A and B are shown apart, each in its own frame.
Chain A
């Protein structure tokens, strides 16, 4: 049932909009669009000593996209880059039908119902892709 996509955990996460905003002096600023639906995220971050030291995003998108961006805003700041990469890989695996790997951000579990809707995978993935690109851009400075 489609309503499973919109349970209270996802809606609450989207509404919380963790990390919404901008950074004054980011190490990297990435803009990604989803041409399928027009969703857009601008994600900025700074890195320090192998960690995401600060992160902010401006997201225009559906509930799933906003929830995903909010989760990043909640968990990425302060996280080691290896933990971030682990989360990105875990989300891909989750959407592909695998169980959430041990050690990955537990909140990713709420996106489990999305795996049954391939057309919506991109909604959840857009902020994550932006995060990965921003880290790569910051590291290559």
Chain B
């Protein structure tokens, strides 16, 4: 294991106590929590717990300041123009649903939303529901031979009625990173907005939403070394201003009568009810920690590990890889399947060897259908993984083949 990985691993309580017995390669599902995030969460609940943006007592003020500080930390991570462009949600799924619910009301019958066949169900089903509710049409970008988005087909999918292009920033199955510049260029040509599902990209370093030129960005906290139960929607301020609330209740209004309600300005308009305050505080610390890391160095190491993993897997007879072989085109998420072996059986054997990864359809059944398979085993690396984890996986796959054959 490299010194970098060792130093990083010590900062994650669960990994530090697990030692070399655990090879955690299910980071695309949930990453381990960083000690700073855990400490902030616990500390907040121990000594700063109160409701936010409501009461005036000292604890409530402390909680409000911590919550708003977290909002600022998220804004910094995303290089957002303002912290007011940050909406806390319960996760990426809730953030994507929020856009479909709220921005979706601005769509007219016949408008089109462009997705891809690679989308996680979280960035598919909300749009299917909008289609059924608002009589819009959905169009789907296919994938190419390496399961990347087929950008050659993008132009044909994005027509004059396109209102929004909603794509994954990085596939949760193939790891393929979307060529955002090409998507934005096409969107601008027809006046469409761009939403990125960043759940799988955000864990691999800060994102510059303004440089990307996009309009919406969603990601979850538990994949970014923060607590569970919290996520983020970023949207351009003018878009949030134009959008109605997706959920209503306390904390998101200006004035209410028995007849009507006036809605608060964003982001409060989109945070009905008591938000996940401690989780947001923990996420803020996780993202602040991430923002201090040397991501050029980490990315180089991750690419090296991914290449080591791909090269090793390619030597296993009967094994097939999903996604681009060029490690520069993917985050360190590598999925594979074996002839005549079910992904859950493969993962079960690996679990017995201390290697944690996930099998199945990964909430991406349309992609499985496009690839003509039932499921895959997925190894997803995070910055604390090292060559020992990759080597344990490779040895485990060979053992799985021996046991299951």
State how many angstroms separate the Cβ of A117 from the closest Cβ of chain B.
7
Given contacts A36-B360, A38-B368, A60-B374, contact A3 B403 (CB under 8 A): yes
Contact B349 A3 (CB under 8 A): yes
Contact A62 B342 (CB under 8 A): yes
CA distance A36 to B347 in the complex (A): 14
- What 1/0 flags go to A1-36 for Cβ under 8 Å of B? 111011000010000000000000000000000001
Report Cα–Cα, A64/B353, bound state, in Å: 19
Residues of chain B contacted by A91 (CB below 8 angstroms)? none
The reply to whether B375 and A37 form a contact with Cβ atoms under 8 Å apart is yes
CB of A127 within 8 Å of the partner chain: no
Residues of A within 8 A of B351 (CB): 2
A6 and B342 contacting across the interface, CB-CB below 8 Å: no
Q: Is the CB of B345 within 8 A of A62?
A: yes
A110 within 8 A of partner (CB): no
Within 8 A of A (CB), among B312-347: 342-345
**Is A120 an interface residue when CB atoms closer than 8 A count as contact?**
yes
Question: Which chain A residues lie closer than 8 Å to B343 at the CB level?
Answer: 37
**Docked pose: A43 CA to B316 CA in angstroms:** 35
A11→B353 CA distance, assembly (Å): 20
In the complex where A2-B349, A6-B349 touch, is A37 in contact with B403 (Cβ < 8 A)?
Answer: no
In the complex formed, the residue of A with least CB distance to B399 is A3
Docked complex Cα distance between A61 and B343 (Å): 9
A38 near B352 with CB under 8 A, answer: no
Contacts of A1 in B (CB 8 A): 352
Residues of B within 8 Å of A81, CB to CB, are none
Number of inter-chain CB pairs below 8 Å:
41
Question: A63 an interface residue at 8 Å Cβ cutoff?
Answer: yes
> Are B352 and A123 in contact, CB atoms less than 8 angstroms apart?
no
Q: Which chain B positions have C-beta within 8 A of A60?
A: 374
Q: How far does the alpha carbon of A11 sit from the alpha carbon of B345 in the complex, in Å?
A: 11
Identify which of A6, A38, A120 contacts B365 (C-beta below 8 A): A38
In the bound complex, do residue A63 and residue B345 qualify as a contact, i.e. CB atoms below 8 Å apart? yes
**Count of residues in B whose CB is under 8 Å from the partner chain:** 18
Decide if B404 is an interface residue (CB 8 Å cutoff): yes
A37 to B365, alpha carbons, bound, how many Å? 11
Tell yes or no: B48 within 8 A of A by CB.
no
Confirm or deny: B186 has a beta carbon within 8 angstroms of a beta carbon on chain A.
no
Q: A63–B342 contact, CB under 8 A?
A: yes
Shortest distance between the CB of A70 and any CB in chain B (Å): 14
Q: Which of A38, A61, A63, A120 contacts B404 (CB 8 A)?
A: A63
Contacts of A117 in B (CB 8 A): 348
Are B348 and A2 touching (Cβ within 8 A)?
A: yes
The interface residues of chain B lying within 8 Å CB-to-CB of A3 are 349, 352, 403
Are A61 and B342 in contact (CB-based, < 8 A)?
yes
Kindly provide the distance from the CB of A33 to the nearest chain B CB, expressed in whole angstroms.
10
Give the CA-CA distance A56 to B278 in the complex, in Å: 54
CA distance A5 to B342 in the complex (A): 14
Contact with B along A53-65 (1 / 0, CB 8 A): 0000000111110
- Chain B residues with CB under 8 A of A38: 360-361, 365, 368, 374-375
B359 contacts the other chain (Cβ, under 8 Å)? Answer: yes
Q: How far is the CB of A122 from chain B (nearest CB, A)?
A: 10
Q: Which residue of B lies closest to A66 (CB)?
A: B342
Contacts of B353 in A (CB 8 A): 2
Q: Which residues of the partner chain B approach A63 to less than 8 Å between Cβ atoms?
A: 342, 345, 404
The docked-state distance in angstroms from the alpha carbon of A139 to that of B402 is 45
A61 to B360, CA, bound (A): 10
Q: Name the residue of chain A whose CB is nearest to the CB of B362.
A: A38
Are B374 and A5 closer than 8 Å at their CB atoms?
no
Q: Which residues from chain A contact B374 at a C-beta distance below 8 Å?
A: 38, 60
Q: Complex formed: what's the CA distance from A61 to B379 in Å?
A: 21
How many angstroms between the C-alpha atoms of A5 and B374 in the bound complex?
21
Contact call B345/A6, Cβ cutoff below 8 A? yes
Q: Which residues of A contact B (CB under 8 A)?
A: 1-3, 5-6, 11, 36-38, 60-64, 117, 120, 123
B interface residues, Cβ below 8 angstroms from A: 342-345, 348-349, 351-353, 359-361, 365, 368, 374-375, 403-404
Sampled A-B contacts (8; CB under 8 Å)? A3-B352, A6-B349, A37-B360, A38-B361, A38-B365, A117-B348, A120-B344, A120-B348
Closest 8 CB pairs of A and B: A2-B352, A62-B342, A38-B361, A62-B344, A37-B360, A62-B345, A63-B345, A37-B344
